[in-house]
Chains A and B, each alone.
Chain A
Amino acid sequence: MTLAPPQHTHGWLRLSPMNRRRLDNFRRNRRGLWSFWIFLALFVVSLGAEFVANDRPLIACYKGELLFPVLVDYPEEKFGGFEARTDYRDPTIAGEIEAHGWMIWPPIRFANSTTKLDPPTPFPSPPTWLLSEKQCRAAIVAHARGDAKAIPPGGGSCRDLEPEWLGTDADGHDVVARLIYGFRISVLFGFILAGVSSAIGIAAGAVQGYFGGWLDLTMQRLIEVWSSLPHLYILIILSAILTPGFLVLLTILLLFSWVNLVYLVRAEFLRARNFEYVNAARALGLSNAKIIVKHVLPNAMVATLTFLPFIVNSSISTLTSLDFLGLGMPPGSPSLGELLLEGKSNLSAPWLGLSAFAVIALMLSLLIFVGEAVRDAFDPRKTFT
């Protein structure tokens, strides 16, 4: 005879009642929930930045052959040119393909590093909706390159010009494309930095708090010494020696950011290691590693998860400020900080600074709202009435 009831499988996610309550609390916070969905939508869109803003068509048909320029590099000789990579925005190539087939472009026909040809004004050029008719007509004439058929009858107007929603920066790169790519790289950088530094911080805090004693004392002192090093100067020195890039910056920032969570996790472990159920697990003969992971860590995770959105935020701000100072990503990277810097040096082109500011502010605010909602959801005393 079997006594055990059949085990129910609750799909792939089996939530304990405590977590279900937290999820409900999170859902009940309208602002946080909306921020979460908006942020998620923006993030997913920016992950597919190549399909949203690119200087290559998504799909092209040339002489009956179906091509996928966004995924595959086709040499230009295929279309009668001679360069190794095809520039689909080149009027000659574009005309050749259009003549023998068709192209489907992404909504924005610029990648973050595409230089605009034939600008209506010297760079940085303003958005098309800020141009005067005279500037537009001049740009159309320049774009036509002597081909009279390319000029619409009556000289054309601004509507016939390729739209530039937010203008270009000082190097002729489209600002919208830069923002999309910049958003992606900022958020990814923030997530990776926060994730890796939390993992290290939790591990260090767990070991200190659980075992205590001399190990704890020694590590505490080491961390105190380490965190009192002047971060910014070390960053400046290191970025002068190493060529800064995504991974190099990540590593350098990681050196200092892992310390943030250690104290918190350590305190939680110090408290939880004397819980009776931890003692009971010890009496059952569980190994220390198992006790830490199964019984003590969940206690510390509440504090960690509460802090995580704020750590992501500070990681993003750090990257942005380094870029702004010129110590961050290499020139030409689609970074929001660098766009801010350009806005500062081109005060006559307010669309640069304003759009970069708006995107950074939006991104950080959304994350803060999500973070607040997460914090409240984990607060055991919080009741939404």
Chain B
Amino acid sequence: MSAPLLSVRDLSVAFRQGDETHVVVDRVSFTLERGQALALVGESGSGKSVTAQSIVKLLPYPAASHPSGEVLFKGRDVLKMTDASLREMRGAGVTMVFQEPMTSLNPLHTIERQVGEIIALHGGRAASSRDRVIALLTEVGLADPASRLGAYPHQLSGGQRQRVMIAMALANRPDLFIADEPTTALDVTIQAQILALLKDLQAKLGMALLFITHDLGIVRKIAGDVAVMQKGRIVEAGKTAEVFDNPQHPYTKMLLAAEPKGEAPARDATAKPILEAKDVRVWFPIRHGFMRRTIGHVKAVDGVSLTVREGQTVGVVGESGSGKTTLGLAILRLIRSQGTIAYCGRGLSGLTVKQMRPLRRDMQIVFQDPYGSLSPRLSVAEIVEEGLIAQKTRLNAAERREAVAKALADTGVDPASMDRYPHEFSGGQRQRIAIARAMALDPKFVVLDEPTSALDMSVQAQIVDLLRDLQKRRALAYLFISHDLKVVRALASEIVVMRHGAVVESGPAHELFAAPKSEYTRALFAAAFAMEAEASDVVSQ
């Protein structure tokens, strides 16, 4: 038997920061054959991306170093290669696709130029003919590739950009294809399409695929083998089916059990309505010409009505750009809108900013990104007590600290750490702090704007449990905005499906999940729960 295509032996990676050295990958070994698909799974910070980048030696040397190990690609040690042979290998023998398709493409060059460049680099100028580019783009399923040649990256959608990236990676028929979370930044429907495409191409071209992800559902779909990483080590490896059916390591078990579970509270149409929105519209004018005449509107939210009741959750689902976040902001009156919004029967539309301020106490929001939503300059205590000060609750400093401690304890953060700063906490803990900030004011209505999307799978489940627990104890009304239907199913008793700013379908959650009426909802569900791409063109590319 000949040597495997890629063989990683005892690979370690260390980063030097100041005088300290951190080992982020610790003696990792795996092999990969032609035609085989291996998934590296782990939470963020487990070292899976760093491992992948050392295979093509893309790390920031000399800050990074390899205390041990070798990476044998076709029998040659990549770590000892010269720069020239490295360049030859990258882009031809081994290619890579990254998570963020927007920043991976140069915004100043057309699609044709970017795809043509990589062909020209490794195959000579003659090979970079237009036909070859079109053939590649057709291969990755880009609709109408001939007319897309002159397009710039910003004119394409996220899924289309990722297809272009894949076309570039496939241009020179690599032996090894590394995909570093290629679908994490994409919507579920697009994710399903890209996964189907990758699987298809791998089978057709017979290349080896190294797939890096934190999503176990994807692993099951695409990879025959799996290696689970935790804190820089591979804790378990084997055939995907075997590992999933019979996990040995406690960490793998925990990952597998981490899917958001639990039942949403039963729908109760008699509960007191906390927030009613009727025919909410957010239209942004499109102005044109010298006099800035309004020639039309971007209808970000177009006539959405919903009622959120005490102790109940309304889930708003849809792809990115469907206007669900805008709807949330409009309901809290953080952006201007038309239509009527009533809180506990009191109309909010005519209120001035000043009149609105005392009501903010009862209506809170939790944002998606726990890294962006906490000011890095304030300690946790200062962040959480900010609302208490702004709302002029007559508490002195000691009482405020006590209230902060209580809110933190309620959300599962150790109150003893309240004088530390956000960067000292993990993503999940930061999201708990953001929830504590909202809960400190004892609100009645909370808008949750994708509160789990930026978090690891296992942490998502914890946050979902926390939110449900808080809702039960405090009879909170949630407006839960998410594209992740698994999370929505665990929380919402009523669902609103949005697309292009309008409601496609709405109704009680159990009915909707059991029997979606519209084509679009059905495609969305198929993509989310089974990662099946719908053949029909109800969803956009």
Interface residues, chain A, with chain B CB atoms under 8 Å away: 2-5, 7-8, 16-18, 275-277, 279-287, 290, 294-295, 298, 383, 385
Contact check, A286 vs B386: say whether CB atoms are below 8 A apart: yes
B18 at interface (Cβ–Cβ under 8 A)? yes
B499 at interface (Cβ–Cβ under 8 A)? no
User: Chain B residues with Cβ under 8 A from A3's Cβ?
Assistant: 402, 405-406, 408-409, 415
Among B403-418, those with CB < 8 Å from A are: 404-406, 408-409, 415-416, 418
B361 at interface (Cβ–Cβ under 8 A)? yes
Q: Which of A2, A4, A279 meets B367, CB within 8 Å?
A: A279
Contacts known (A16-B421, A280-B367, A285-B391); A4 close to B376, Cβ less than 8 A: no
User: Chain B residues with Cβ under 8 A from A295's Cβ?
Assistant: 375
**Cα of A277 to Cα of B386 in the assembled complex, Å:** 11
Contact check, B372 vs A284: say whether CB atoms are below 8 A apart: no
Contact check, B419 vs A280: say whether CB atoms are below 8 A apart: no
User: Chain B residues with Cβ under 8 A from A287's Cβ?
Assistant: 357, 390
* A1 CB → nearest B CB, Å: 10
* A173 CB → nearest B CB, Å: 51
- 19 pairs from A and B in contact (CB 8 Å cutoff): A3-B402, A3-B409, A5-B405, A5-B415, A8-B419, A17-B423, A18-B376, A18-B377, A18-B421, A276-B367, A277-B374, A279-B367, A283-B332, A286-B390, A287-B357, A290-B390, A294-B375, A294-B378, A383-B17
Contact check, A16 vs B377: say whether CB atoms are below 8 A apart: yes
Contacts known (A283-B364, A285-B358); A4 close to B418, Cβ less than 8 A: yes
* A261 CB → nearest B CB, Å: 20
**Cα of A16 to Cα of B419 in the assembled complex, Å:** 10
B387 at interface (Cβ–Cβ under 8 A)? yes
Among B459-516, those with CB < 8 Å from A are: none
**Cα of A298 to Cα of B378 in the assembled complex, Å:** 11
Q: Which of B372, B404, B418 meets A275, CB within 8 Å?
A: B372
User: Chain B residues with Cβ under 8 A from A385's Cβ?
Assistant: 16, 18
**Cα of A285 to Cα of B356 in the assembled complex, Å:** 8
Residue of A nearest to B391 (CB): A285
**Per-residue 0/1 for B169-205: is the Cβ within 8 Å of any A Cβ (1 yes, 0 no)?**
0000000000000000000000000000000000000
Contact check, B421 vs A4: say whether CB atoms are below 8 A apart: no
Q: Which of A8, A285, A298 meets B377, CB within 8 Å?
A: A298
Among B258-309, those with CB < 8 Å from A are: none
* B413 CB → nearest A CB, Å: 11
User: Chain B residues with Cβ under 8 A from A283's Cβ?
Assistant: 332, 334, 360, 363-365
**Per-residue 0/1 for B345-358: is the Cβ within 8 Å of any A Cβ (1 yes, 0 no)?**
00000000000111
User: Chain B residues with Cβ under 8 A from A18's Cβ?
Assistant: 376-377, 421
Interface residues, chain B, with chain A CB atoms under 8 Å away: 16-18, 332, 334, 356-358, 360-361, 363-365, 367-369, 372-379, 386-387, 390-391, 398, 401-402, 404-406, 408-409, 415-416, 418-419, 421, 423-424, 434, 437, 441
Known: A4-B404, A287-B390. 12 other contacts (CB 8 A): A3-B406, A5-B415, A5-B418, A8-B419, A17-B421, A276-B372, A277-B375, A279-B365, A284-B391, A284-B441, A285-B357, A286-B390
Residue of B nearest to A24 (CB): B18
Contact check, A4 vs B401: say whether CB atoms are below 8 A apart: yes
User: Chain A residues with Cβ under 8 A from B406's Cβ?
Assistant: 3
Contact check, A4 vs B375: say whether CB atoms are below 8 A apart: no
**Cα of A17 to Cα of B420 in the assembled complex, Å:** 9
**Cα of A255 to Cα of B88 in the assembled complex, Å:** 61
* B62 CB → nearest A CB, Å: 9
* B172 CB → nearest A CB, Å: 33
Residue of A nearest to B382 (CB): A294
Contact check, A7 vs B364: say whether CB atoms are below 8 A apart: no
User: Total A-B residue pairs with C-beta atoms closer than 8 Å?
Assistant: 91
User: Chain A residues with Cβ under 8 A from B377's Cβ?
Assistant: 16, 18, 298
Contact check, A280 vs B437: say whether CB atoms are below 8 A apart: yes
User: Chain B residues with Cβ under 8 A from A286's Cβ?
Assistant: 386, 390
Residue of A nearest to B406 (CB): A3
* A26 CB → nearest B CB, Å: 15
Residue of A nearest to B392 (CB): A285
Nearest 7 A-B pairs (CB), nearest first? A285-B360, A3-B405, A4-B405, A284-B387, A276-B373, A276-B372, A4-B401
**Cα of A290 to Cα of B405 in the assembled complex, Å:** 23
* B282 CB → nearest A CB, Å: 16
**Cα of A18 to Cα of B423 in the assembled complex, Å:** 10
**Cα of A5 to Cα of B404 in the assembled complex, Å:** 11
**Cα of A30 to Cα of B373 in the assembled complex, Å:** 37
Q: Which of A17, A280, A298 meets B365, CB within 8 Å?
A: A280
**Cα of A60 to Cα of B347 in the assembled complex, Å:** 82
Contacts known (A3-B409, A4-B401); A284 close to B437, Cβ less than 8 A: yes
User: Chain A residues with Cβ under 8 A from B16's Cβ?
Assistant: 385
Contacts known (A4-B405, A282-B334); A277 close to B391, Cβ less than 8 A: no
User: Chain B residues with Cβ under 8 A from A277's Cβ?
Assistant: 372-375
Contact check, B386 vs A284: say whether CB atoms are below 8 A apart: yes
Residue of A nearest to B409 (CB): A3
* A280 CB → nearest B CB, Å: 5
* A5 CB → nearest B CB, Å: 5
Contacts known (A2-B402, A7-B419); A284 close to B390, Cβ less than 8 A: yes
**Cα of A282 to Cα of B364 in the assembled complex, Å:** 10
**Cα of A290 to Cα of B382 in the assembled complex, Å:** 14
User: Chain B residues with Cβ under 8 A from A280's Cβ?
Assistant: 365, 367, 373, 434, 437
Contact check, A383 vs B18: say whether CB atoms are below 8 A apart: yes
User: Chain A residues with Cβ under 8 A from B334's Cβ?
Assistant: 279, 282-283
Residue of A nearest to B357 (CB): A285
User: Chain B residues with Cβ under 8 A from A8's Cβ?
Assistant: 419
Residue of B nearest to A278 (CB): B375
User: Which of A281, A287, A298 has the most CB atoms of chain B within a 10 A radius of its CB?
Assistant: A281
* A279 CB → nearest B CB, Å: 7
Contact check, A4 vs B332: say whether CB atoms are below 8 A apart: no
* B128 CB → nearest A CB, Å: 36
* B477 CB → nearest A CB, Å: 16
**Cα of A385 to Cα of B332 in the assembled complex, Å:** 48
**Cα of A175 to Cα of B356 in the assembled complex, Å:** 67
User: Chain A residues with Cβ under 8 A from B378's Cβ?
Assistant: 16, 294
* A245 CB → nearest B CB, Å: 41
User: Chain A residues with Cβ under 8 A from B408's Cβ?
Assistant: 3
Contact check, B416 vs A5: say whether CB atoms are below 8 A apart: yes
* A16 CB → nearest B CB, Å: 6
User: Chain B residues with Cβ under 8 A from A2's Cβ?
Assistant: 402, 405
* A239 CB → nearest B CB, Å: 44
Residue of B nearest to A383 (CB): B18
User: Chain A residues with Cβ under 8 A from B361's Cβ?
Assistant: 285
User: Which of B374, B398, B418, B419 has the most CB atoms of chain A within a 10 A radius of its CB?
Assistant: B419
Contacts known (A5-B416, A279-B367, A280-B437); A285 close to B390, Cβ less than 8 A: yes
User: Chain B residues with Cβ under 8 A from A285's Cβ?
Assistant: 356-358, 360-361, 387, 390-391
**Cα of A127 to Cα of B221 in the assembled complex, Å:** 90
* B402 CB → nearest A CB, Å: 5
Residue of A nearest to B400 (CB): A4
User: Chain A residues with Cβ under 8 A from B390's Cβ?
Assistant: 281, 284-287, 290
